[in-house]
């Protein structure tokens, strides 16, 4: 039986993002899980990669240009200017706008794309 390898994608920046008070997604927990992985020595049993942040055109392979551009420009400071798009794209309480949101999505999407690439080898 062929030994399967585990590929793990992690970017240390991911723990710096904050969805807001009361939201269940806490990116700092990703950092905590990573530290457990290191402290228990699990990293020795896997290949660790830092995902390349997904580029605009890569994200547009899975989402519309309009939605991707909206994610790129929306910030907590300009939400009132984009009220119609916030509603259209269902961004709000459950999926809040937060500082650095597009960067967070680039990291996350980059990990997904990198993982898919490893699975297809």
Q: How far is CA 93 from CA 22, 26, 28, 30, 111, in A?
A: 10, 15, 20, 21, 25
Is residue 80 predicted with pLDDT exceeding 80? yes
Domain ranges of the chain: 6-119
Provide the pLDDT confidence category of residue 44 given band limits of 50, 70 and 90: very high
Tokens of 30: 């990703």
Q: Write the CB contacts of 120 (distance below 8 Å, at least 6 apart in sequence).
A: none
Angle between the N-to-C axes of helices 65-73 and 101-119, in degrees from 0 to 180, rounded to the nearest 10 = 130
How does residue 93 score in pLDDT terms, banded at 50, 70 and 90?
A: confident
53 or 21: which carries more pLDDT confidence? 53
Res. 77: pLDDT tops 80 = yes
CA atoms of 113 and 27, how far apart (whole Å): 19
Mean predicted lDDT score pLDDT of the chain: 92
Q: What is the pLDDT of residue 23?
A: 78
25-29 mean pLDDT: 86
Mean pLDDT highest for which of 25-29, 97-101, 107-111?
107-111
pLDDT score recorded for residue 27: 84
Instruction: Give the pLDDT confidence score for residue 22 in this predicted structure.
Output: 79
């Amino acid at each position: 039986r062929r030994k399967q390898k585990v590929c793990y994608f992690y970017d240390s920046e991911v723990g710096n993002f904050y969805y807001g008070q009361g939201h269940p997604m806490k990116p700092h927990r990703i950092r905590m899980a990573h530290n457990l992985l290191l402290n228990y020595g699990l990293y020795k049993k896997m290949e660790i990669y830092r995902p390349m942040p997904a580029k605009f055109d890569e994200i547009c392979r899975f989402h519309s240009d309009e939605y991707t551009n909206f994610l790129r420009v929306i910030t907590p400071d300009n939400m009132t200017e984009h009220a119609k798009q916030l509603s259209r794209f269902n961004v709000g309480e459950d999926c809040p706008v937060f500082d650095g949101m597009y960067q967070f999505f680039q990291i996350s999407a980059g990990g997904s794309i990198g993982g898919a690439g490893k699975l297809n080898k």
